[in-house]
Structure 1
């Protein structure tokens, strides 16, 4: 930061111009505004609109003088499941928790490997989402209890993602699927290998299906010709794929249906859990309910970052007419001399 923020004009100084790395705040908060409009189109969902409209209305940052950057210190999150700001921050937190634990997992299970599994079913109508997810959860439980699964998988992290089909004829359908990171024994890649066809058969049997669903399995194998950091980056890619938004913002805002799809998916998924862990990875992550407002502010547990806090705060308010955050000196707090 080359200039004191206290000299900025609140009408023309945007957060993303002062600190370009913070542009995601503008993007997610403006989408949240659009989401609130859709919720307001049905009186039953007005409470969601009210909460989202109040979400992250202001941001207060401290200043890391050594690195010359802003550090988020204060914001209020509405915690609505599909608020685009809260989904974004929860996803970042989940990824950070996983990144922080990967090294510990590798050290405690040095001969184990990772595989990335995706499981799907036929696309149901949005009004059948809850029943479909219940059946998928039951199918997953049957599969993880099978002898074949338990013989090679020592731990798993599984997330649920719901996307909206692109075909106009299916715009009121959903595409629910599981992403799972599996920690497998070293023997998985020789005598205990499970190929894609066998994984598909296991899923069909567990789900009691009369059709062949799409199933994808990919190994996250270290490459001996790559550096440690390069191999870790490959593993991080699997983490990114696992911990995505439960529903992408674009899917919620995609069609001019007056929010009908959004309203129904909100009802269908109310209080359903979208993350599961098991085996040696059980409890490695917090659930959505356990992630606090403070967790969503401090994505990484950097004690040094907090120790340098001198109490000074630089404030920004979201201004709908610009769809951006604008510097607001009324929110500033100054360090005591």
Structure 2
């Protein structure tokens, strides 16, 4: 029986903390002190006792780790609204509306894990971009562990290659030029120091230069809705000799990239090794430092904030529509050498991959219980909906 808190005789709406309290008979040796932790006692109780009418049990109440679903799904709703504004992209809007509308979780190996969901697979869906990014990171982490054993003396460097910002209507042709230039680069003598590589493509709106990374991002007022900033993020696995006789300075990388592009200007490039996180830079680089740098490289194709920027402005929306047209069916991930099979291409990623995202948990095994959480746009949250439990 629920205890409804009162205030001056006025009955208040019960909340999650009242619903799953020790007053309710939860069979657990450990007292339930913090409800914002997915423990098996709560799962068992919820499955057997449906919330009373008017009580919302949110996913973020059950699992703090999964609270990010709300923000990603809210962004997907916003992108869907943008697509729905014109007939050309109505089908995309419908697919985004149906993306991850419900999530079914199970309890395996002391973990609350996603077992079932359906994704729209639209390139710029924030939920799908997030899930692909998680999958790529997990696959790359696994590859990194294997590479350490096979190439114990090799190291990783991170290279960013840019071009002059093209008009958004010229983006596709510029990306094709960049792809051809990259192919030329990999065949250059200087690139022989690289034994494996991964290249991802990112497209952003033009921004004003920043003095440092802590400075706020300011979009270029003149070109933010007319031009694009395409660039490559590259992970390069290099021989030990790279840091000796084979070393290439940043200026040399820029000249190489200029030559491969065949342009009359020196493009901006950035090359760096893994940097130590934290204040003490004198400590040795760890595997976690390298994995963190890898995660930064395997970013979204276009961040949701870039898509939804000034979304009520017709010019800003048109920038996104043209981005969608220009990048239709283009590959944004490539790899070669010892890292050739490290990642899955966009069109090879299955719905099951996006559920697991590298999680070793077997989603196909038969679970005794699955809890369903349905996304409610008006509430901006995933809320427990036992009608669809399994």
Q: TM exceeds 0.5?
A: yes
**Moved beyond 6 Å, runs of 4+:** 221-225
State whether residues 134 and 358 of structure 2, in contact with CA within 8 Å, keep that contact through their aligned partners in structure 1.
no
3-state secondary structure, aligned to 2:234: strand
Per-residue CA deviation, residues 144-196 of structure 1 (Å, 9 max, x unaligned), is 1111112x111111100111121121112111100101111111001111011
TM-score of the two chains, using structure 1 as the length reference: 0.92
Distance 1:9-1:289 versus aligned 2 partners, 3 A rule? farther
1:293: how far off? 0.3
Residue equivalent to 2:121: 79
Which protein shows a greater Rg? Answer: 2
Residue equivalent to 1:126: 168
Residue equivalent to 2:221: 168
Per-residue CA deviation, residues 183-231 of structure 1 (Å, 9 max, x unaligned), is 111110011110111001101111112112211010238999757xx61
Distance 1:9-1:24 versus aligned 2 partners, 3 A rule? farther
1:21 to 57, 65, 68: 65
Matched, 1:52 2:96: yes
State whether residues 62 and 309 of structure 1, in contact with CA within 8 Å, keep that contact through their aligned partners in structure 2.
no
Return the structure number with greater relative CO, CA threshold 8 A, min gap 6: 1
2:313 to 254, 257, 269: 257
Q: CA RMSD, aligned part only?
A: 2.0
Structure with greater proportional helix content: 1
* Structure 2: distance between partners of 1:156 and 1:202: 17
Distance 1:51-1:190 versus aligned 2 partners, 3 A rule? same
Residue equivalent to 1:297: 355
Structure 1, unpaired ranges of 5+: none
* Structure 1: distance between partners of 2:378 and 2:223: 35
1:48: how far off? 0.2
Residue equivalent to 1:91: 133
3-state secondary structure, aligned to 2:222: helix
3-state secondary structure, aligned to 2:76: helix
Distance 1:105-1:182 versus aligned 2 partners, 3 A rule? same
Structure 2, unpaired ranges of 5+: 1-38, 207-218
3-state secondary structure, aligned to 1:35: helix
Instruction: Show the 5 A alignment for 1:121-270.
Output: 121-150=163-192, 152-165=193-206, 166-172=219-225, 173-220=227-274, 226=283, 231-255=286-310, 256-258=312-314, 259-270=317-328
Residue equivalent to 1:103: 145
* Structure 2: distance between partners of 1:226 and 1:93: 30
TM-score of the two chains, using structure 2 as the length reference: 0.80
> How many pairs were matched up?
327
Per-residue CA deviation, residues 8-32 of structure 1 (Å, 9 max, x unaligned), is 3474111111212111110111110
* Structure 2: distance between partners of 1:323 and 1:32: 11
Per-residue CA deviation, residues 105-143 of structure 1 (Å, 9 max, x unaligned), is 111111211110000011111111101100111111111
More divergent stretch after superposition (104-113 vs 51-60): 104-113
